[in-house]
Chains A and B, each alone.
Chain A
């Protein structure tokens, strides 16, 4: 059996760990550990630090400002940063649209858009889902009609994470209403400051507003913002979804949640409960299964033998375990969890950990209902496995 753990990879892991210890701002780390929702400046400050080190887009090719990280290095980077209490790296520019642009975009598009991502100056969001096109994404109706050197865009996107903080949006739009659903879709980059764009925040169950609905009314988008070929957007979207899911196991984050449960249990005098110990041990078993499977997938990717459906396995299990652990943390709080006020939490986010942690735990548990839905719901992932892994 082989291992991904070469001496070089271990050294890289130690580098990332040491870098986080030295450079992750204490106030941001505290918020992350407490589960308090982060602000735009929180995210941007950490990402600026990473950009300064050249690690924000580490897995990108050197030609576009990256470090050419292997899948293993990318994994180690994510696990170590998450485990240290660093914020979730916003994926919209770095993981999603960036790779689409450097893979399928024109020379002009690369020059115009990639530097803003590597330097962390341009904040992107993703315009995929629509009110009537969620899991059935091919049913999307937002239209882009060619008018000279422009596309005129009309329609709406929903569940657009962080659109209210974003500068640009990459959208799937329908450019051929007559073609079969997947064929008439194009991939369009839209400046959110363009006239006719309206962004309406949607409050979600934890009481925060990271989701939005974005409306487009006769929005004039320069035709040069079309990525690749017209009506081929589905290809680029599928490519992007592959990138999105590879790193969705989040073992490091789950381990961090488990450490917090132990701390909370000790505080509440529950740490000797045999039932609690059983739950923690069972979570540990599930995490080892997930971690070892992730390492096998990485091994397959490095060997060029991955079949593609492996990402669905990691997405289904990673999201489910994260959900179970974050939900269990609320149970450990007991009725302490009932004292919950998201507005108070936002206003007092800078207070000591003990003061805000219980609300943070609740906020996080509510927010964590989302991972089984986003990025292709877990039901869609099972459809993918049935079709591509099992031939059903």
Chain B
């Protein structure tokens, strides 16, 4: 089915898929994951040179004039290649925060690949991302941060952390060098084979000028970041689901049992047809989420994004489960990338609000 892009967008899609086709295969991914960062810093520099990191930002903000659609294209391609480089954690999240908070010098560094950023926002015990338990207290001329953040994507390698905290009882976003005293970055492996970090702040000192956003602005910046994260996660999940769908279809055409290709069995044909339908619908919902980012922030947009998150993840998980089952025993092996795709989709389905979270949000915003 069609999906119209501008010539520039088509070029980006073409270039991303060519680059990933050339440079990325199962063996490369394994090699990259074994590196200290959990991904390849060389690849990160290459995609910076290719212009990926600035493709989702307008020219006023130091980007290359693109927007959500460019991000969607890249996230889908990255998902399809089961890429281990943290586009979500080190591009989408901090890029959105820096752009919305007006930190264009930092954004330029992110886009050029000169510095790595990560957003430390998640505190699983807190009911809302807008109400962190982490606090910033006056300390001398500056501030001291106390608190703990979980699952900081890209935090294992970030030069700069963008931290949500309460300042004078209100949400603020703080810029913290990861190597200052009082910042304890603990790297851990993740379900999808990559890495992330838990970060403790124990009187970590910053200047007042490191407050990137506060007052009414900070909640808007965080909400926008989460909205962009949801759309990006949908696109990446769709890409991973397409990978599993295509590999499963290939396998049905190859594998012979009972003297014929198993794709000739109607029971399997119908399951494959349902995977195809799920993929088409996931594609539609991912595009809907991206289109919603152009709308003003508000209840309608939140509802659409929640619906997309529930719908894409549910369909991608279905494809993931079926991909393992239809591959049979080999689908369970670590050697095949089926499990990698499944685990990536599962991870994305739990991030930025799981199904329960988004059902609650849809219910509360019901029209």
Per-residue CB contact flags for chain A residues 297-338 toward chain B (1 = under 8 Å, else 0) read 101100101110010010011000000000000000000000
Decide yes or no whether A280 CB sits under 8 A from chain B.
yes
Main secondary structure of the interface of A (DSSP, over half): helix
Contact partner of B277 among A297, A307, A385, CB < 8 A?
A: A385
Contacts of B315 in A (CB 8 A): 289
Given known A-B contacts A383-B266, A386-B272, A1 and B362 have beta carbons under 8 A apart: no
Which residue from chain A places its CB closest to the CB of B362 in the assembled complex? A281
Per-residue CB contact flags for chain B residues 263-306 toward chain A (1 = under 8 Å, else 0) read 11010011011101100111111011011000000000000100
Are B272 and A390 neighbours in the complex by a CB distance under 8 Å? yes
Contacts of A379 in B (CB 8 A): 270
Decide yes or no whether B253 CB sits under 8 A from chain A.
yes
Task: Tell me the minimal C-beta distance from A224 to chain B in angstroms.
Answer: 42
Which residue from chain B places its CB closest to the CB of A3 in the assembled complex? B291
**B residues 233-285 in Cβ contact with A at 8 Å:** 249, 252-253, 263-264, 266, 269-270, 272-274, 276-277, 280-285
Contacts of B290 in A (CB 8 A): 1
Given known A-B contacts A278-B363, A382-B269, A382-B274, A288 and B285 have beta carbons under 8 A apart: yes
Closest 5 CB pairs of A and B: A292-B284, A386-B269, A385-B273, A289-B281, A281-B362
Per-residue CB contact flags for chain A residues 35-60 toward chain B (1 = under 8 Å, else 0) read 00000000000000000000000000
Decide yes or no whether A269 CB sits under 8 A from chain B.
no
Task: Tell me the minimal C-beta distance from A314 to chain B in angstroms.
Answer: 10
Contacts of B273 in A (CB 8 A): 381-383, 385-386, 389-390
Number of B interface residues at 8 Å Cβ cutoff, please give it.
40
Contact partner of A303 among B4, B69, B266, B285, CB < 8 A?
A: B4
Q: Interface on B for A, CB 8 Å cutoff?
A: 1-5, 69, 249, 252-253, 263-264, 266, 269-270, 272-274, 276-277, 280-285, 287-288, 290-291, 304, 307-308, 310-311, 314-315, 359, 362-363, 366
Decide yes or no whether A180 CB sits under 8 A from chain B.
no
Contacts of A299 in B (CB 8 A): 1-2, 4
Q: In the assembly, what is the distance between CA of A103 and CA of B363, in Å? A: 49
Task: Tell me the minimal C-beta distance from A308 to chain B in angstroms.
Answer: 11
7 pairs of residues in contact across A and B, judged by CB atoms under 8 Å: A278-B363, A285-B311, A288-B308, A299-B4, A310-B1, A382-B270, A386-B266
Task: Tell me the minimal C-beta distance from A103 to chain B in angstroms.
Answer: 25
Task: Tell me the minimal C-beta distance from B262 to chain A in angstroms.
Answer: 10
Decide yes or no whether A282 CB sits under 8 A from chain B.
yes
Are A281 and B359 neighbours in the complex by a CB distance under 8 Å? yes
Contacts of A284 in B (CB 8 A): 307, 362
Task: Tell me the minimal C-beta distance from A59 to chain B in angstroms.
Answer: 20
Tell which of A297, A307, A310, A386 has the most Cβ of chain B within 10 Å.
Answer: A386
Are A389 and B276 neighbours in the complex by a CB distance under 8 Å? yes
Are B272 and A296 neighbours in the complex by a CB distance under 8 Å? no
Q: In the assembly, what is the distance between CA of A1 and CA of B249, in Å? A: 28
Contacts of A189 in B (CB 8 A): none
Contact partner of B280 among A293, A295, A381, CB < 8 A?
A: A293
Contacts of B276 in A (CB 8 A): 313, 385, 389-390
Task: Tell me the minimal C-beta distance from A232 to chain B in angstroms.
Answer: 29
Contacts of A385 in B (CB 8 A): 273, 276-277
Task: Tell me the minimal C-beta distance from A378 to chain B in angstroms.
Answer: 9
Contacts of B304 in A (CB 8 A): 288
Q: In the assembly, what is the distance between CA of A92 and CA of B254, in Å? A: 43
Are A1 and B264 neighbours in the complex by a CB distance under 8 Å? no
Are A289 and B287 neighbours in the complex by a CB distance under 8 Å? no
Are B4 and A293 neighbours in the complex by a CB distance under 8 Å? no
Q: In the assembly, what is the distance between CA of A300 and CA of B269, in Å? A: 25
Q: A285-B285, A316-B277, A389-B276 are in contact. List 12 more A-B contacts (CB 8 A).
A: A1-B5, A1-B287, A285-B307, A288-B308, A293-B284, A296-B2, A296-B284, A303-B4, A307-B1, A382-B270, A390-B269, A392-B249
Q: In the assembly, what is the distance between CA of A44 and CA of B272, in Å? A: 43
Tell which of B249, B264, B272, B280 has the most Cβ of chain A within 10 Å.
Answer: B280
Contacts of A293 in B (CB 8 A): 1, 280-281, 284
Tell which of B290, B291, B304, B359 has the most Cβ of chain A within 10 Å.
Answer: B359
Given known A-B contacts A281-B359, A284-B307, A392 and B272 have beta carbons under 8 A apart: yes
Which residue from chain A places its CB closest to the CB of B358 in the assembled complex? A281
Which residue from chain A places its CB closest to the CB of B356 in the assembled complex? A278
